[in-house]
Structure 1
Amino acid sequence: MTTDLGPLARELSLPYYDAALPAHDRYHAERVRDVALRLADDCDRPVDRDVLAAAAWLHDIGRPLERTGDIDDHDVWGAIEAVDLLDSEGVPTATVDAVEHCIRAHSIRASSPEPATVEAELLFDADKLDAAGARGIVRLACIVGERSGRAGERHAVIDDASEARMAPEDGRDVSLLRHWTRERLDALHTDPGRRLGRERWQFVETFFDRFEREAGVDGTH
């Protein structure tokens, strides 16, 4: 059964992403799967790639419900839902338990448990790496956009810091993206994840250097 676990999890997960917004949609899940398996290739510990792939596909199935307020915690809800889905397909209990732990431990939230297996560490790292580099900047900008103008929230601020409530230091949402990226890269667990994180952070630094030049009308004249 487990040799087909990745494709099975993909099939089971896709309906849950129908209502997802871009930052946590099926393409995010697929990117996390791809990066997680890439990191596994460079890992010096044995990795159950089937568990890792399945957990990547299923890790954010609760996001659409969390966004609408129907559930409080997509990690907990998604882990429970994944157990039900995989149990119904006859996946062995030990494998289901391994996937469940990965999903419960994938979030950077303080309430999430620490990853206790290499598969959980790799899933965590791959998920956080999707918030870094070129795609990561676009994805985090989508998250800011999702929150912009919701009930009780201000619209996103790119240049004027006067109305910002959440952003660090200079108060712009674009600076919040940089803060979020750094926070996630600092939390990575594995050596392959940290290596890729350093590479992606270089692009983030280049992007923000360019942003600042444009904000100053491309430098002085």
Structure 2
Amino acid sequence: MTQELGPLARTLSVPYYEDALPAHDQFHAKRVRDVALRLAGHCDGSVDRDVLAASAWLHDIGRPRERAGEIDDHDEWATAEAAQLLAAEDVKPDRIDRVKHCIRAHSIRASSPEPRTLEAKLLFDADKLDAAGARGLVRLACIVGERSGRTGKKYAVIDDTSDTDLESSDHPDITLLREWARERLDMLYTHPGRRLGRTRREFMDEFFTRFDGEIGGTREW
């Protein structure tokens, strides 16, 4: 292998994102990589930044297939696919195993294992932080729209909670955004991740307060 692991993983991952929707495309992967590496710079422990970067590029390569119904679990599929891709490039088995764990543990699904390594925790946090703050609000709205769109309908329905455990509210169009953001920020593992999460939570709290005020007509007069 002549190429560094992070750039190699980027090259290998990009074709998998060609059919991805905006919330889980290559730009999401890049943002997750960038934030993960920023968080790593504020950690006390030793971080394999190449493993972390590679895991970020590869963690969602199965999303387009899952959306198309070709696979059931993008975490498990991406873990196996990434292992094959990296092995074909003669990446050392121990590094492949570390990337595999990061990918398998990045999700909040009940079937996902707890992240054990610092790299896995940083990837988890960076992925969740991409659903928080100003950019995160836009991304969450994309996710809700993607999951609730109806075939043959002109507009996606973003207030349908039938597939979730959430109760209806007076403002159902932002209920999912509020709850999904809170859930993700409450699950962060690392100290720098939680610190950045607090900053992004403050912005989102202000946004939701402003949203409620505009709906009620109390914040614009």
TM-score, length basis structure 1: 0.92
Q: Residue 155 of structure 1 corresponds to which residue in structure 2? A: 157
Structure 2 residues not aligned, in runs of 5+: none
Mapped pair 1:29 → 2:29: yes
Q: Residue 160 of structure 1 corresponds to which residue in structure 2? A: none
Q: How does 1:103-114 map to 2 (within 5 A)?
A: 103-114=103-114
Cα RMSD over matched residues? Answer: 2.0
Contact conserved, 2:161 with 2:167, CA < 8 A, in 1? Answer: no
- Look up the equivalent residue of 1:149 and give its one-letter code: G
Report the Cα distance in structure 2 between the residues aligned to 1:2 and 1:24, rounded to whole angstroms. Answer: 29
Report the Cα distance in structure 2 between the residues aligned to 1:2 and 1:23, rounded to whole angstroms. Answer: 32
Q: Residue 134 of structure 1 corresponds to which residue in structure 2? A: 134
Per the TM alignment, residue 49 of structure 1 is displaced from its structure 2 partner at its CA by 0.2
Q: How does 1:17-166 map to 2 (within 5 A)?
A: 17-150=17-150, 155-157=157-159, 164-165=161-162, 166=164
Q: How does 1:170-181 map to 2 (within 5 A)?
A: 170=169, 172-181=172-181
SS of aligned partner of 1:111: coil
Per the TM alignment, residue 175 of structure 1 is displaced from its structure 2 partner at its CA by 1.6
Report the Cα distance in structure 1 between the residues aligned to 2:220 and 2:117, rounded to whole angstroms. Answer: 52
- Look up the equivalent residue of 1:61 and give its one-letter code: I
SS of aligned partner of 2:4: helix
- Look up the equivalent residue of 1:52 and give its one-letter code: L
Q: Residue 192 of structure 2 corresponds to which residue in structure 1? A: 192
Identity %: 65
Report the Cα distance in structure 1 between the residues aligned to 2:57 and 2:15, rounded to whole angstroms. Answer: 11
Report the Cα distance in structure 1 between the residues aligned to 2:130 and 2:91, rounded to whole angstroms. Answer: 28
Contact conserved, 2:161 with 2:168, CA < 8 A, in 1? Answer: no
TM-score, length basis structure 2: 0.92
Per the TM alignment, residue 92 of structure 1 is displaced from its structure 2 partner at its CA by 0.4
SS of aligned partner of 1:14: helix
SS of aligned partner of 2:10: helix
Report the Cα distance in structure 1 between the residues aligned to 2:220 and 2:182, rounded to whole angstroms. Answer: 29
- Look up the equivalent residue of 1:142 and give its one-letter code: C
Alpha carbons of structure 1 residues 141 and 218: separation in structure 2 relative to 1, 3 Å: same
Report the Cα distance in structure 2 between the residues aligned to 1:220 and 1:47, rounded to whole angstroms. Answer: 48
Contact conserved, 2:36 with 2:52, CA < 8 A, in 1? Answer: yes
Alpha carbons of structure 1 residues 38 and 3: separation in structure 2 relative to 1, 3 Å: farther
Structure 1 residues not aligned, in runs of 5+: 158-162
| Cα deviation digits, residues 94-146 of structure 1 (max 9, x gap) | 00000000000000111100001000000000000000000100000001111
| Cα deviation digits, residues 162-209 of structure 1 (max 9, x gap) | x65344451613121011011001111100100000000000001101
Contact conserved, 1:168 with 1:176, CA < 8 A, in 2? Answer: no
Contact conserved, 1:2 with 1:50, CA < 8 A, in 2? Answer: no
Alpha carbons of structure 1 residues 220 and 207: separation in structure 2 relative to 1, 3 Å: closer
Per the TM alignment, residue 155 of structure 1 is displaced from its structure 2 partner at its CA by 1.8
| Cα deviation digits, residues 43-93 of structure 1 (max 9, x gap) | 010000000000000000000000111100000000000000000000000
